[in-house]
C-alpha cells in the first residue's frame, strides 16, 4: 500500500496519465504518494513549463470531480508552486501557533506573486483555524490576528488540538471514521 504505483510522482515526473494513478477507496478517490515525491521538486526544476506540470496532468480528469483537493507540503517550493498554478482556490489550514503566522505571511506573498505572474484566477477559498487550544491565550491571539487579516474568509468552525486526530493516520483512517465522537 505504501508503494502504490503509479502515483503522483509518476504523473509529475514520468508523464503517467493521472487517471492511471487514481486509486478508488471507500473514502473517495486519491492520487497516492510516497516518500519518493520529496525528490520531485529538484527534478521539476529542469523541466519545461515546470510550474504547470500538475495543472496539465490534472486537466483530463478535472471534469470527473466536483472538487480536487491538493495537499501541499508546508514549504513553499516547486511542488507547492505547481499546486498553486493548478488550482482555482486555496483552502488554508492555519495552526494556532506563532510560526504558523510567519508561514502564513510567506504563503500570502507567494499567492500574490502567483496571481500576478502565473495564475491570475487564483483566489482564497477560506481559512480554517486548527490545533486551537482554548486553554491558552496564544491560540486566541493567533485566531484574532488571522480573523483581522482574512475577515470573512475565516471559517466559524475551529479544529481543536486533539490527540485522536493525530492517531487516525497511523491507523490508515480519516479522523471522522477513526473516532466519530472525537471533539476534533
pTM: 0.87
For residue 1, pLDDT beyond 80: no
Sheet holding 89-95, edge to edge: 89-95, 123-132, 154-160
pLDDT exceeds 80 at position 63:
yes
3 versus 139: the higher-pLDDT residue is: 139
30 pLDDT band, cuts 50/70/90, is: very high
pLDDT tens digits along 81-136: 999 999 999 999 999 988 888 889 889 999 999 999 999 999 999 999 999 998 98
- Comparing CA positions, the residue from 157, 140, 161, 146 lying closest to residue 101 is 146
pLDDT in the model for residue 3: 65
pLDDT band at 2 (very low <50, low <70, confident <90, very high): low
Cβ atoms of 92 and 110 within 8 Å: the answer is no
Amino acid at each position: 500500500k505504501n508503494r502504490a504505483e503509479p502515483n503522483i510522482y509518476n504523473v509529475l515526473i514520468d508523464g503517467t496519465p493521472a487517471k492511471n494513478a487514481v486509486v478508488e477507496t471507500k473514502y473517495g478517490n486519491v492520487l497516492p504518494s510516497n516518500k519518493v515525491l520529496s525528490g520531485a521538486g529538484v527534478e521539476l526544476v529542469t523541466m519545461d513549463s515546470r510550474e504547470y506540470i500538475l495543472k496539465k496532468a490534472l486537466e483530463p480528469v478535472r471534469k470527473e470531480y466536483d472538487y480536487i483537493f491538493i495537499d501541499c507540503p508546508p514549504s513553499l517550493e516547486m511542488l507547492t508552486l505547481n499546486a498553486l498554478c493548478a488550482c482555482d482556490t486555496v483552502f488554508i489550514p492555519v495552526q494556532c501557533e506563532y510560526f504558523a503566522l510567519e508561514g502564513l505571511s510567506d504563503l500570502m506573498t507567494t499567492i500574490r506573486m502567483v496571481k500576478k505572474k502565473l495564475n491570475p484566477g487564483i483566489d482564497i477559498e477560506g481559512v480554517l483555524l486548527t490545533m486551537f487550544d482554548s486553554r491558552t491565550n496564544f491560540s486566541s491571539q493567533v485566531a484574532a490576528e488571522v480573523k483581522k487579516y482574512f475577515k470573512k474568509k475565516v471559517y466559524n468552525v475551529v479544529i481543536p488540538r486533539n490527540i485522536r486526530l493525530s492517531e487516525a493516520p497511523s491507523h490508515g483512517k480519516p479522523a471522522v471514521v477513526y473516532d466519530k465522537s472525537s471533539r476534533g
